[in-house]
Amino acid sequence: MSRTVFKGDTEYFPGIGQIQFEGPESDNPLAFKAYDRERRVAGKTMEEHLRFAVCYWHNFCATGADPFGPGTRDQAWARSSDPVQMARKRMDAAFEFCTKLNVPFWCFHDFDMAWEGASIDESDANIQTMVDLANERQAETGMKLLWGTANLFSNPRYMNGASTNPSFDVVAYAASQVKAALDATVALGGQNYVFWGGREGYAYLQNTDTRRELQHLAMFLDKAREYGRSIGFEGTFLIEPKPMEPMYHQYDFDAQTVIGFLRHHGLDGDFKLNVEANHATLAGHTFAHDLQMGADAGLLGSIDANMGNPQNGWDTDQFPSSIYDTVHAMMVVLKMGGIGSGGLNFDAKVRRESTDLSDMFIAHIGGMDCFARGLIIADRILADQRSSDLRDGRYASFDSGDGKRFENGELSLTDLRDIAVATGEPELVSGKQELYENLINDYIVRGAS
Amino acid sequence: MSRTVFKGDTEYFPGIGQIQFEGPESDNPLAFKAYDRERRVAGKTMEEHLRFAVCYWHNFCATGADPFGPGTRDQAWARSSDPVQMARKRMDAAFEFCTKLNVPFWCFHDFDMAWEGASIDESDANIQTMVDLANERQAETGMKLLWGTANLFSNPRYMNGASTNPSFDVVAYAASQVKAALDATVALGGQNYVFWGGREGYAYLQNTDTRRELQHLAMFLDKAREYGRSIGFEGTFLIEPKPMEPMYHQYDFDAQTVIGFLRHHGLDGDFKLNVEANHATLAGHTFAHDLQMGADAGLLGSIDANMGNPQNGWDTDQFPSSIYDTVHAMMVVLKMGGIGSGGLNFDAKVRRESTDLSDMFIAHIGGMDCFARGLIIADRILADQRSSDLRDGRYASFDSGDGKRFENGELSLTDLRDIAVATGEPELVSGKQELYENLINDYIVRGAS
Amino acid sequence: MSRTVFKGDTEYFPGIGQIQFEGPESDNPLAFKAYDRERRVAGKTMEEHLRFAVCYWHNFCATGADPFGPGTRDQAWARSSDPVQMARKRMDAAFEFCTKLNVPFWCFHDFDMAWEGASIDESDANIQTMVDLANERQAETGMKLLWGTANLFSNPRYMNGASTNPSFDVVAYAASQVKAALDATVALGGQNYVFWGGREGYAYLQNTDTRRELQHLAMFLDKAREYGRSIGFEGTFLIEPKPMEPMYHQYDFDAQTVIGFLRHHGLDGDFKLNVEANHATLAGHTFAHDLQMGADAGLLGSIDANMGNPQNGWDTDQFPSSIYDTVHAMMVVLKMGGIGSGGLNFDAKVRRESTDLSDMFIAHIGGMDCFARGLIIADRILADQRSSDLRDGRYASFDSGDGKRFENGELSLTDLRDIAVATGEPELVSGKQELYENLINDYIVRGAS
Amino acid sequence: MSRTVFKGDTEYFPGIGQIQFEGPESDNPLAFKAYDRERRVAGKTMEEHLRFAVCYWHNFCATGADPFGPGTRDQAWARSSDPVQMARKRMDAAFEFCTKLNVPFWCFHDFDMAWEGASIDESDANIQTMVDLANERQAETGMKLLWGTANLFSNPRYMNGASTNPSFDVVAYAASQVKAALDATVALGGQNYVFWGGREGYAYLQNTDTRRELQHLAMFLDKAREYGRSIGFEGTFLIEPKPMEPMYHQYDFDAQTVIGFLRHHGLDGDFKLNVEANHATLAGHTFAHDLQMGADAGLLGSIDANMGNPQNGWDTDQFPSSIYDTVHAMMVVLKMGGIGSGGLNFDAKVRRESTDLSDMFIAHIGGMDCFARGLIIADRILADQRSSDLRDGRYASFDSGDGKRFENGELSLTDLRDIAVATGEPELVSGKQELYENLINDYIVRGAS
């Protein structure tokens, strides 16, 4: 289903209509070359597979500031001194952008969409105002909410953590925000609810009781789950791993750390992972690795689609532009049977130097084409018998006989030794990495037509 | 108890007697300046606290080879073409060195101490020969075995992993080695048994079934545990985390990853962590961080004492020479009540350019003094009320009242919101990191006398 | 000479007097334990050796904002909506702080001290206003200016570079700022003038003409030098290397890159390096390495004293708290005969979580004590014959004979071969790294009394 | 010109004939999909553009050893206890492999090709023996030598450096090796001579006189140049930058460091850079960056084609398999007018787990196809007006008027300020990074047919 283009009182992206698929030979920077929404791949449309979302914060709130300078983008929707007016204009811009881009989903933090008041009650009322408006906009356009979340890291009160703050007062305050954000997410039909623990970690190990803080984190998540379920939230709770930044160390370091934490605290029935590419690489992993760890555990819930660069040790949040990344990612996703109720949220920002309004479209188009290509190419690779020989075929000795008995736990260490003595020196079997790498390159340059 | 100096047929370190404590003003490179074996700190002797071990491989087998050149150290004990003779000489050198250094413990891999035969039976017999000799040497000298382990990463058969190899034949072969190494460890009264999964991981994600390999790893460890307990091993099984090298990715990435794995597979009753400083830093953590994660989980079992450097992205295995590292490490260890049946094994090698025989002593002395200083200074810092104010005092709001009720799980999200509304904006409380850093420096320059 | 404590209309740091030296046993967090201003070390007072400076930006402008949240520190001097009033209050706070800390120097950017106007002429007038006030304050207190600089990276106009901007208009604009900042520096008797090329580099290699941009950079510096000398500036121009952040790649990557650039463009007669610890580590070097490279070239001009941490890949600008760093740094500085007209500027910020006003003092005290300890310990190490044996003694073969002839260029490749044939296999000589590391540790724990 | 397939007494790669181009749809792992030797691109054949070379060491000497285990590949040519026989067999295998792969060039170190004797004279004679044989093989097959070099890092005598060793005896010894390797290179018609300073750097800064060592390095290179020119060597001397490994720090850190060094010592008329992809990334740069720095300086001489991975901090020397890397590299090379007398040497090794003999072919085929694709795609991108608009067009303001006058040095700082005042606030111009990234992806998936 295509979205209806929304225009509010002001058209914020004039001269740009709904982005169309024009195919691989098009030179139009404002057209899709690969993302053909209704095209079927592996039994579903591209739109159903990829479930793209646009994020509120990078596009409609941030303007390009970095630690060394303020924003560079002039946003017509941000020109208002009245917070209510600005929030309304911002939402108009958001729905116009999303529907022109023709993505199915959007995502927000509480105080992207609304604005913080002088008290919890005021803040909650502000959120309610914007939820009502967003509901109207969703109904008009067909847009849906992939997930909501609360910003528990910007306000100075959270400088030492939110649910892991050494002060109980702050923990309680954080709870008030999560409650409101959960209420908003449910009201908007959100399919997931995300926790990114930006300040849940430490600046300095020696002044921190990590054990106690992690117990508080688990307790907090447990209570949020309980509340969410009580108000009818049927979606997935998601934890977004990130190893560092802004904190020196963040508790949700990577996929494996979060998986261990969720299981230990009995949260893995309701919580899954929202894996972000640039966070995985900051943790010393590939994007595909963290996706695979999530998939192996049955806990890959959703994806924050972006890209970092290996030379810079911070979260650059670039738009995905590596076809290798998207091929490998979609291989994991296709093998696990799809991303389910999750999606691909572009937690990415145009470069500070990309100041044209059209750059926001160009960047999203590039990211969407990159994943569309990844999807098509991954599907072809997985369908090629050679790729499954190069992976699954290597484990054939465990499919029957003693290998199968080992998997079933039927062989003791002594049994295994006896078998080894009988078998003698095992054969060396090439891993054929280079062959597999060549195969992937051959498919990439064959394109995605 | 001091060890009796051992000398075999040949004295391999002539001119060097048993190393003595001479105090902080000594200029003798072959004396301890801080490690005063019988000195009591926090209720135990330094020897009891630190439980130093010398490792066999770096000292008596390796000679300084790196990927760009062969060894540089001429070792009299390695001049023999007969493997039996060479293994005996090597053991003589090891016991001479350890007793001259006067450390209580040693550690080995199966094929450091013995040598691999043409068959499993031959290899096992070789190990038995050396176990018999080692038992004699232990009895003569008072040396004890901190831990044994099997080398499941050097032989080409393990190039694609040992217990996680895609071929069952290799898994069975690995089991035969672990069985023999467990037998040897028990025979020598070893207090722990270590698994370092050097090739348990992948070179290339796309040709690897990570889920299946991790299940095999868990099954293998379970069977090793079962066998170990069946032959009377009462010590601790230890997993040594390392994120990479030699493999692109290794499954036992860091403390948190291993903790999650052990708990998920029900192995945490018998297995703990052997945390190595340089492995923690390769994983993007401080040494103290991985120790603390182990301690928090009750799973810090032992320590591989060494140091890397942040500029080089591989395991440099340098001797510990940072007093910050040892102060922070001993703060964790003292707070958890000591290292128990684990110890501080110097998994460290003299630099390839340090070719004097005495450099082995100098390096160990430096490492031992560094930890002795760390112990004394950590103890003083922990005894200073200011340091506990700067850490534990920050959490006072959870010791009673609503904070305590939160910790007890008695407050719902809604309760927390109500409390937050009643409390209003929380106070900003400084983390005082710089103050704590100053305090630590003040203690360091006050020395360890 | 001690500085007179300055207090303006408001005392911004009430309850804190001028910081005194109380010695190593003091527990007073607001006293020096090691920095004893008038104490003589190696022929000069500590104050003369260390030439500490306080920076304007981190202390009096920034409030703790990071990319994930706004500032946390409430600064009484920043509570004004009138830019003139705020700039005056800020300067009062700065002089009060510096004189209470009793450092000899301060440093500024044009728009820390003043504020940007609606035009170049307005901005220049604003700077002039503040220069006049600063001159009064300097006269009253005895404070001096270590260096001035222009902020050519924050304003959006510089997003694609200042002197390396693809647009000539921006290059010209940058020149106008440098002219005014040079004028201000000269008017205030500044001893150096710094260029930190925050945006001089690229976000994306493919859209950048690096050759042309680097030529523009050289031309720009040449013209700045010409102007500076024409108005009577007799100090040193300084380039501050940094490899990345905010840009993907920055041209002044590290000491060696800048040295090569200065020499190639004939700028090395007037320009030297301002080496920052955290920038060196971001470039994959130790702090001491970049200092040494500067010293070797005769181009180490000044130091930005701070510290990063190896786990986080961005510029954390922490206060120096590693005695190893300061010992190694002062060994380089003492060997080169002192820092000359440069100094030690604390380009460091208190942590975002350190929100007490006193934390600014505590952090500077910690950094000053750390360098004072480094100075004393370095001096003792260099005076120890063992340390010079362990370094200079290794090169004795070049002090005479064929080695000397080689250094003099008198031996051809064929001569060298003939000598090698005659000499035979060279002796292996241990580098004794561990011995030197032990020596340094022994001196550190002996303290700095 | 195609090479004649060489077979010696033994065929070492039986069953594999000369590799043919079969086009993009071929599934034959032993055929080229993109590298079509005689195909013309931008005025030259692919063979002329790419000038591929096979290296001796990784393919015919190394067998897969790493710091944690010995080699895994069984090489029929290495089965001999007689060094002369083994060297001859190895050379037979090398020429068979190269001619079957049909590359134009090979490269060697002295003691890959020959073997070290008990004295310098013996070693030189060994080299002479192999040079004679290699000359025969070259004549028979049409193979040519891209470059020769001397291994000055493996032998323990070089543990503290070769030309930068603290002992003059070692410097002289190194000279004897360089002399012989230069003689061999000239005798074989080598087009370049390479210096990779594997141990030219330091393990520990504090025991090193870096200034003196760097002067020795420059003197050594000067004398090598003098000798080379005296014996008729007309090719290019090449320095291969690498930042670290095996040493903590290596002097030839990166392109910019080496460029500065060559210019400072007047070596830039004869010496250029041999840029290696994996070395650039270890230094914190992209491959393309170091190529561009070399090209900008007119000092890019040759390329070591391989690839690392950003997760592992050591030189993994993988075969190039990233089309982005090769597109970006060939954009630099095409813009500079080709690689001249340099070439693309695969300083890459098959993975330790790739144990089939055919893996060596598969890996080289993958690398060659990857660069062939890079060449074709880079040529198309450069021919697209949009790409030059996105780069060169940004600098139009310097092509005439005041911008041109600035480039010519005709504008003082005061002139620039006056212009800035007249111009007013410069326009913000988008860098269009995302648009350029999309353009590159569009070309990649269009393939290389």
Contact (CB<8Å) D354/A434:
yes
Q: Which of D158, D312, D353 sits opposite B245 (nearest CB)?
A: D312
- The domain boundary, picked from B350, B383, B416, lies at B383
C393 and C373 in a single domain? The answer is no
- The residues, ordered by sequence, that sit 6+ positions from B50 with a Cβ below 8 Å of its Cβ are B35, B343, B344, B368, B371, B372, B375
In B, which residues are within 8 Å of A157 by CB distance? 425-426, 428
- Could you tell me if C75 and C215 lie in one domain? yes
- The domain containing residue C201 runs over which residues? 20-383
Q: Is the pLDDT of residue D376 over 80?
A: yes
What mean pLDDT comes out for the span A108-122?
A: 97
pLDDT score at A1: 61
Task: Note the pLDDT of residue C322.
Answer: 98
Please check whether residue B10 lies inside any domain of the structure: no
Q: Is the dihedral of CA A401, A403, A408, A411 positive or negative?
A: positive
State the nearest Cα–Cα gap between C10 and chain A, in angstroms: 26
Contacts across the A-D interface (CB distance below 8 Å) = 137
CATH number of domain containing B102: 3.20.20.150
Give the chain D residue nearest C210 (alpha carbons).
D296
Say yes or no to pLDDT of D188 above 90.
yes
Measure the CA–CA gap between A293 and A417, rounded to whole angstroms: 31
Contact of A352 with chain C, judged by CB distance below 8 Å, is answered with yes
Same domain, D371 and D440: no
Find the radius of gyration of the CA atoms of chain D.
Answer: 23
Asked if D119's CB is within 8 angstroms of C227's CB, the reply is no
At residue A203, what are phi and psi to the nearest 5 degrees?
-90, -25
* Strand B52-55 to B249-250 pairing: unpaired
Region of residue B338 (left: phi > 0; alpha: psi -120 to 50; beta: else): left
Residue D346 has a CB neighbour count (10 Å cut-off) of 26
In-domain check, residue B9 = no
Is A234 domain-assigned? yes
Alpha-carbon distance of B349 to D180, in angstroms, equals: 35
Residue B229: inside a domain: yes
Are both A287 and A391 inside the same structural domain? no
Q: Provide the number of structural domains found in chain B.
A: 2
The per-residue pLDDT string of chain B (449 residues; one tens digit each, 9 = 90 and over) reads: 689 999 999 999 999 999 999 999 999 999 999 999 999 999 999 999 999 999 999 999 999 999 999 999 999 999 988 999 999 999 999 999 999 999 999 999 999 999 999 999 999 999 999 999 999 999 999 999 999 999 999 999 999 999 999 999 999 999 999 999 999 999 999 999 999 999 999 999 999 999 999 999 999 999 999 999 999 999 999 999 999 999 999 999 999 999 999 999 999 999 999 999 999 999 999 999 999 999 999 999 999 999 999 999 999 999 999 999 999 999 999 999 999 999 999 999 999 999 999 999 999 999 999 999 999 999 999 999 999 999 999 999 999 999 999 999 999 999 999 999 999 999 999 999 999 999 999 999 999 99
Which chain A residues in 135-174 lie under 8 Å from chain B, judged by CB atoms? Answer: 156-157, 159-160, 166-173
Residues D311 and D407 in one domain: no
Looking at residue D1, what is its pLDDT? 62
Q: Which two tokens stand for residue D197?
A: 């300073």
Q: Are residues D44 and D178 in the same domain?
A: yes
In order, the DSSP letters of A372-412 are HHHHHHHHHHHHSHHHHHHHGGGGGGGSSHHHHHHHTT---
On whether residue B5 sits in a domain, the answer given is no
Query: CA Rg, chain B, in Å?
Result: 23
Q: What is the pLDDT of residue B1?
A: 61
Chain A segment 388-427 residues within 8 A of B by beta carbon are 390-392, 394-395, 397-398, 401-403, 406-407, 409, 411-414, 416-417, 419-421, 423-427
**B268 CB near a chain C CB, below 8 Å?**
no
Task: Tell me: do C295 and C377 sit in the same domain.
Answer: yes
In a domain, C191, yes or no: yes
Asked which of C329, C357, C383 is the last residue of a domain, the reply is C383
Is B112 assigned a catalytic role?
yes
Write out chain B residues lying below 8 Å of C285, CB-based.
311
To the nearest whole percent, how much of chain A has pLDDT over 90? Answer: 99
B29 interfacial to chain C (CB closer than 8 Å)? yes
Same domain, D350 and D207: yes
Instruction: Identify the pLDDT of residue C1.
Output: 61
D321 touching chain B per CB within 8 A: no
User: Residue A32, Cα to own-chain centre: how many angstroms?
Assistant: 22
- Do B142 and B253 belong to one domain? yes
* Nearest CB to B284 within list C311, C350, C365: C311
Predicted local confidence at residue C2, as pLDDT: 81
Contact, A315 vs A321, CB < 8 A? no
Nearest CB neighbour to C204, from listed D179, D253, D431: D431
What pLDDT was estimated at residue B2?
82
Report field, pTM of the whole predicted structure over 0.90: yes
- Same domain? For C276 and C165 the reply is yes
Is position A138 within any domain?
yes
CA distance B213 to B210: 5
**Three-class DSSP labels, chain C:** CCCCCCCCCCCCCCCCCCCEECCCCCCCCCEECCCCCCCEECCEEHHHHHCEEEEHHHHHHCCCCECCECCCCCCHHHCCCCHHHHHHHHHHHHHHHHHHHCCCEEEEEHHHHCCCCCCHHHHHHHHHHHHHHHHHHHHHHCCEEEEEECCCCCCHHHCCCCCCCCCHHHHHHHHHHHHHHHHHHHHCCCCEEEECCCCCEECCHHHCCHHHHHHHHHHHHHHHHHHHHHCCCCCEEEECCCCCCCCCEECCCCHHHHHHHHHHCCCCCCEEEEEEHHHHHHCCCCHHHHHHHHHHCCCEEEEECCECCCCCECCCCECCCCHHHHHHHHHHHHHCCCCCCCCEEECCCCCCCCCCHHHHHHHHHHHHHHHHHHHHHHHHHHHCHHHHHHHHHHHHHHCCHHHHHHHCCCCCHHHHHHHHHHHCCCCCCCCCHHHHHHHHHHHHHCCCC
Average pLDDT, chain A: 97
Q: How far apart are CA A269 and CA D158, in angstroms?
A: 59
What ipTM was assigned to the predicted interfaces of this complex? Answer: 0.97
Tens-level pLDDT at each residue, chain C (449 residues): 689 999 999 999 999 999 999 999 999 999 999 999 999 999 999 999 999 999 999 999 999 999 999 999 999 999 988 999 999 999 999 999 999 999 999 999 999 999 999 999 999 999 999 999 999 999 999 999 999 999 999 999 999 999 999 999 999 999 999 999 999 999 999 999 999 999 999 999 999 999 999 999 999 999 999 999 999 999 999 999 999 999 999 999 999 999 999 999 999 999 999 999 999 999 999 999 999 999 999 999 999 999 999 999 999 999 999 999 999 999 999 999 999 999 999 999 999 999 999 999 999 999 999 999 999 999 999 999 999 999 999 999 999 999 999 999 999 999 999 999 999 999 999 999 999 999 999 999 999 99
Residues in chain D closer than 8 A to C206 (CB atoms): 288, 328, 331, 387, 390-391, 436, 440
Write the pLDDT tens digit of every residue in A55-83.
999 999 999 999 999 999 999 999 988 99
Q: Is the dihedral of CA D406, D409, D411, D414 positive or negative?
A: positive
C187 and C164 belong to one structural domain: yes
C417 domain-assigned: yes
Query: Do C379 and C391 belong together in one domain?
Result: no
Q: Dihedral of CA A308/A309/A310/A315: which sign?
A: negative
The string of pLDDT tens digits covering residues B20-41 is 999 999 999 999 999 999 999 9
pLDDT(A408) > 70 = yes
Write out the DSSP string of A233-287: --SEEEE----SSSSSEESS-SHHHHHHHHHHTT-TTTEEEEEEHHHHHHTTS-H
Residue that terminates a domain, selected from B355, B383, B411: B383
